[in-house]
Amino acid sequence: MPETLPSKADTGSDEYQSVLYLTGMTAGEMQTCLGYDQQYRAKQLYKWISGGAADFLLMNNLPKAEREKLKAMFGSVRSSTVSSELSDPDGSLKLQIRLRDGSAVECVLLEDIEGRKTACLSSQVGCPMGCRFCKTGQLGFLRNLGPDEILEQYHFLSERRGFISNVVFMGMGEPLLNLESVRKAILLLTDPEGIGMSHRKITISTSGIVPGIRKLADGGPQVRLAVSLTTARNDLRSELMPVNRSWALPELKDALLYYQEKTGERITLELALLGNRNTEMEDARALAAWMPPLKAQVNLIPWNKIPEMSFTEPDPTQLGTFAKILEDEGITVVTRFHRGRGVMGACGQLGDTLYADPGE
């Protein structure tokens, strides 16, 4: 667990250091980088890469000499590789991605009962937030990912499972502490000349980085926002989620109201429910009292077991009572199913490998 958290003054949310690989470039950036005189050549290359092409030599509408030049310049289209993969009968897939510096992140594809596929993408190697109930939060933090490293997770999942309808930044890391890379990745995901995903199909999930929420409200992109709230009891939230010591619930609520004023969007509040810790009737009533006038849906996420942690899953009766108290107050409640557990890819379970030997 990290000893310190981002302060109010130093969130690092607008800074990232990354060598920009082609998977993180727009067509215009490719044209500049490669010195193309003709725009159409850059657009051809961009179309191949945004479509998931992994080998320059197979880009058959580019001249052979150009393909060979690109191969000599870059070696591989992508900067990362898949080092392991696990699949589950429920349709879940978890990939461990080896990055160019030898470190690793994980990404997950979840499939619902209607066959819709959602990619859960990581934004950082590790996580600096230290949430007590999250495996990733106990690993520490190494660095931010570049936009190329984020997009490559999407491409690796897509080439294994086909069309992906939704993307959520709910993997490893805090997206709002790497906002510029996340913004660039979303720009590329939603480019109608490339992947063409709707902004409405993308969600950023934050632990409650108040300056980042305000920056997202002011500068976009206008995607869906989810907040890992866990509890509306300020003292308990500070115990379970150290971010609350930097930006407590009143500051978080002010930022969310500002976000809604700017965007008009409904917010999702996510509660990881821990048996006998935040599942009592008083916890539900505290949440119902805290929410107004926010326009929000509540997602209840029964805690996913992590062997090295002492928390327990909530009792089903407790869970039902909790949901009913909220519903009786007119709050929309969704209880999330345990997809991804079979590959340790459910909420809070990511982080089998963080640091690795580049020479492996």
**Which of the residues are catalytic?**
106, 347
pTM: 0.89
Nearest-angstrom CA–CA distance, 46 and 260: 35
* The domain defined by 22-74 carries CATH number 1.20.120: no
Write the DSSP string, 83-130.
Answer: EEEEE-TTS-EEEEEE-TTS-EEEEEEEE-TT--EEEE---EEE-SS-
Architecture of domain 81-343: Alpha-Beta Barrel (3.20)
pLDDT in tens, the chain (360 residues): 333 344 333 333 333 344 568 999 999 999 999 999 989 999 999 999 999 999 999 999 999 999 999 999 999 999 999 999 988 888 889 999 999 999 999 999 999 888 899 999 999 999 999 999 888 878 889 999 999 999 999 999 999 999 999 999 999 999 999 999 999 999 999 999 999 999 999 999 999 999 999 999 999 999 999 999 999 999 999 999 999 999 999 999 999 999 999 999 999 999 999 998 999 999 999 999 999 999 999 999 998 777 778 888 888 898 999 999 999 999 999 987 655 444 444 554 566 654 444 343
DSSP state of 201: G
Between vectors from CA 346 to CA 16 and to CA 251, what angle results, nearest 5°? 55
Domain residue extents for the chain: 22-74, 81-343
